[in-house]
Structure 1
Amino acid sequence: MKITENTILITGGGSGIGRGLAESFHKKGSQVIISSRRQQALDEVTSANLGMKSLLLDINDRDSIRSFSQQVAQDYPGLNVLINNAGISKLEDLKSPPDYLEDAEAIVTTNLLGPIRLTAALLPLLQNQPHSAILTVSSGLAFVPNAATPTYSATKAAIHTRYRYVTSSKAPQPR
């Protein structure tokens, strides 16, 4: 992937790794669009980086992803890079069910289903570009899980496995 002259969408771009990636690509001359559920975070980043764009996205909401992807296709038809970065992690006490179930479901929806749904929604647009890329942020916890964050670790392992095969010549072929 070339790292300049792209139109890049970064989920979770309002803070942390997402913000760092957004600012780095922006400084290298790419058009960067960040998304987050928090308008205040988006406003802070775009105020500090003139020319960077932002769009609200609730990665947990199927309908939000659908309307978001339509807006991206309309406003940024040259989108050629998707960086799935949005994610959450929470400590879980598996010895006290059902208290952890709500958090576990939110983690799976945000970290795994969200990127799968958004990638599927934006894939037709990305496939129309001469050079496109999809990057999905995983974690070292995909390989060495943390007992205090088992669902987070599991979602990162799933993301690693899923997207590793998308780009691999060893990917299983449909039957």
Structure 2
Amino acid sequence: MLLPPSAATSARHGSIEQVDPSRPDHGDVRFDGIEYAFARRMALSISAGNGLEAVDDGEAEGLAFPVSWLRRQGINADLAVLVSVKGDSMAPAIPDGALVLIHVAERSIASTGVYAFNLDGQSFVKRLVPQSTEADGRPGAVAIMSDNHSYPPLFLSGKDLNRITVVGRVRAVVAEI
């Protein structure tokens, strides 16, 4: 259950307090002295398989992350969203049905990492590996890799790089064990 940030409620083992919204880089709520920020869950799914249109009728929710952890990771909670992953191409790192925390402030392929992106109108979560770098610092070629080796890599270079639009970098995975 998520409580609104304005709630000053006593929980069974601690208290939930409102935070000072005038402070820069504040969280949304404080529980037992630890500040948390909510990352909203987007009511859509993204493919870790062969691609799909991003649509789901699920209700949007959110998860709270400790502000101190978000800061250490360089994540702005206001620019982070949770999205469901469908498919097994990124297993075992990202299993089918997991939620991924996407930091939408990271929209360029500066280094190897797992990114959410659109390719030819479909949404994906895959590992993007820059293969070369142009004079302006942008990649000249990118390998799109799945962690599950049943899915072959795809290589884009030159004008084909215009087919890809990075939504953000995946910074955390929330999955059932």
Q: TM-score if structure 1 supplies the norm length?
A: 0.23
**Bigger radius of gyration among the two:** 2
Report the structure, 1 or 2, having the larger strand content: 2
Larger RCO, structure (CA 8 Å, separation 6 or more): 1
Higher helix share: 1
Task: Normalising by structure 2, report the TM-score.
Answer: 0.22
